[in-house]
Structure 1
Amino acid sequence: MLNFREVLGYWFVNNTMEELVNEVHTRIEDARKTFIVTANPEIITYAQSHSYYEKIIKHSDYIIPDGIGIVIASRLKRQPLQERLAGFDLMYNLLKLSDQHHYKIYLLGTKPDIIDLSALNIKKAFPHLEIVGFHHGYFHDDDNIIEEIKQAKPDLVFVGLGFPKQEKWISHNLKHFDKGIFIGIGGCLNIWAGVNNRAPKFMRDLNLEWLYRLIKEPSRSKRMLAIPIFLKRVLSNEFFK
């Protein structure tokens, strides 16, 4: 049973990674369709300004705190979340779980010349899971992809279209499937392909992964403005009601 904490009107999973993975494992075994949002301050800030997207986020099954800004915000509210649940770490742990139990995986996202490499590297790392299909993220018609997923019956579907597109795609198409854990994973497929790298472990341990990404991708600077905006809203919400 998972616990939840509220931050700015959004209910985040307040558990360890192990507990979250165990919950997902149970839902896979029970063939329960599940929509997981990996939310950072940028996603929440965007949702607060786009009501259609906020509705999508709030109607998901689980929102996990993927971003140290979310954890800091919970501390400012004096209702601290147990830990940051990074999207890449969740994906890694679920791939490991799939390797142990021979679960079926479908990958959707990134560029046409990258998705093949993502799938190849995932299969090398986890030889006992079954990748039942993959497709790049540059498509205009959902029908063929939906039909392919329906026929393949994957246990987990990792959708790396970037926000808000990945959450919109999952929300709009979930009704077509009988089962599956659907997770928006942002740029994780690029990391698996080796196109991008995660921050060194010492930076991750210091919760500075966002800084590493900013140094590597200066074009993200405008997107990073969402973090102070988010924290300002948290403070205003807490102290100036």
Structure 2
Amino acid sequence: MKFVEIMGVPFLHTDLSSFVSTLDDDIRQQKKAFVITANPEIVMKAREDMKFMELIRQATYVTADGIGIVKAAQLLNKPLPGRVTGYDTMISLLQLANKKKYRVFLLGAKPETLQKAKATIEKDYPDVEIVGTQDGYFNWDDNDIAERIKKAKPDITFVALGVPRQEKWISENISYCNSGIFIGVGGSFDVIAGTVQRAPLFWQKLNLEWLYRLLKQPSRWRRMLALPRFAWQILKLKARNST
């Protein structure tokens, strides 16, 4: 496998189709995999928080969730094939699970969002076996979620707790389970449930999905400040590498 390191974060050199095929191989071989889909915000957080960086480097795979990562890789002359987002990976894995009757566990989101997402998955992917659910409102230090997942033996566990909670939860609990894919998917349950709309394809093709989200949710502006800071760091790296 080929990896491209950007500011200390090792990104897997892959496209969506190849990545899902890799995860399918892991499932069939009963391997464990910890998946992080990282955007510039996550890279900046890791750069400023060494504990979070250590956690990210524990992951089996880190993929480029965000056009900023892809553009940064190009600028640094270490190009990546393209974006591999959490939402797109989740949908592709659900399609795979529907085809191969894989078992799935859903963890995260508000109770009503989780139930809507579960109902949508059951309708759209009838051959997926949902072996358990848990909303994101639980006592972090006193719960039986990992034990329930271990007993349920899902092939894929989707963790929608937001960054960095979902990555922290996976890193703390994946060791309890014998096999399976554990992937942080952020707000994907909300999109599947229909409570949040993903950017239309037009915006996606222009690589302006981040702007669409900001216009729809202006409260995200503080988080978006990571983008210019990330761009500045990449430009400094490029200049340093050019000398």
TM range (shorter): over 0.9
Offset of residue 214 of structure 1: 0.5
Q: Which amino acid aligns with 1:183?
A: I
Residue 130 of structure 1, CA deviation: 0.4
Instruction: Tell me how large the CA RMSD over aligned residues is.
Output: 1.1
Offset at 1:112? 1.4
Secondary structure of the 1:114 match is helix
- 1:74-223 matches, cutoff 5 A: 74-141=73-140, 143-223=143-223
Residues 9 and 53 in structure 2, CA contact (< 8 A), matched pair in contact too: no
Q: Secondary structure at the match of 1:84?
A: coil
Identify unmatched segments of 5+ residues in structure 2: none
Name the CA distance, whole Å, in 2 between partners of 1:54 and 1:11. Answer: 10
Listed one character per residue, the Cα deviations across residues 169-203 of structure 1 (whole Å, up to 9, x for unaligned) are 00011111001100000000011111001100111
Measure the CA separation in 2 of the matches of 1:31 and 1:235.
Answer: 42
Distance (whole Å) between structure 1 residues aligned to residue 161 and residue 231 of structure 2? 26
Unaligned regions of 5+ residues in structure 1, if any? none
- Equivalent residue number for residue 68 of structure 1: 67
Match of 2:2 in 1: 3
1:240: Cα distance to partner? 3.0
Could you report, residue by residue, the CA deviation over 1:4-41 in whole angstroms, capped at 9, with x for unpaired residues? 21211221111121110110000000110100001000
Distance 1:146 1:27 in 2: 20
How many angstroms does 1:207 deviate by? 1.1
> For residue 226 of structure 1, what is the aligned residue in structure 2?
226
Q: Which residue number in structure 1 is paired with residue 237 of structure 2?
A: 237
Report runs of 4+ in structure 1 exceeding 2 Å deviation.
Answer: none
TM-score of the superposed pair, with normalisation by structure 2: 0.96
Letter in 2 for 1:108: L
Please report how far the alpha carbon of residue 83 of structure 1 lies from its aligned counterpart in structure 2 after TM superposition. 0.5
Correspondence 1:56 to 2:52: no
Letter in 2 for 1:145: I
Q: CA deviation at 1:143?
A: 3.2
- Aligned AA (2:63): I
Q: Is the 8 A contact 2:156 2:180 kept in 1?
A: yes
What secondary structure is seen at the aligned counterpart in 2 of 1:202?
A: helix
How far, CA to CA, are the matches of 2:54 and 2:182 in structure 1? Answer: 17
Q: What is the deviation of 1:238?
A: 2.5
> How far does the alpha carbon of each residue in 1:99-120 deviate from its partner, in whole angstroms, 9 at most, with x for none?
0000000000001121111111
Q: Per-residue displacement from partner, 1:132-191 (whole Å, max 9, x unpaired)?
A: 011100111453211211111000000000001000000011111001100000000011
Which secondary structure does the structure 2 equivalent of 1:240 belong to? helix
| 1:123 shift after superposition | 1.2
Paired AA for residue 220 in structure 1: R
After superposition, the C-alpha distances for 1:77-105 in whole angstroms (9 at most, x for unaligned) are: 12211101111111000000000000000
Identity %: 43
